[in-house]
Amino acid sequence: MSTPETSRFVRLRVELVLEVEDAEAVTKSALSRIAGDSAMPETERAHAEGTVTEDTAEALAYLVDPFDLVSEVSGVELQQASWSAERIDYDPDAPDWDLGEDDGDDDSDG
């Protein structure tokens, strides 16, 4: 009996629900990060500043970087990442928000 080869690649899915208690502070942090990015072209900078100023969710998406989450993990290298943020209605008591439940997207049998 042979063992199937195991891929070296792992898809890590993370879902976060954040409560924004100070939207102005989030926006200021995003604007500060944009200002500190010397490699960013001026046209891209202007677009990013406008986007994070208009939408707190976009400011959070700009601040949360998947590379930062795994850059200190030994033995792994980030190959690809995508992420987004959106405003939602949140009810922690609703069954839809039980993060421990299966969402039907896994590949396991059963």
What confidence tens digit (pLDDT) does each residue in 5-64 have? 788 999 998 888 899 999 999 999 999 999 999 999 999 999 999 999 999 999 999 999
Q: What is the largest CA-CA distance in the chain?
A: 60
Closest CA to 97 of 2, 4, 19: 19
Alpha helices in 1-110 (DSSP H): 23-35, 42-54, 56-63, 66-70
DSSP state, residue 95:
G
> Predicted confidence band at 96 (pLDDT cuts at 50, 70, 90)?
confident
**pLDDT(109) > 60:** no
Each domain of the chain, given as residue ranges in start order, spans 22-71
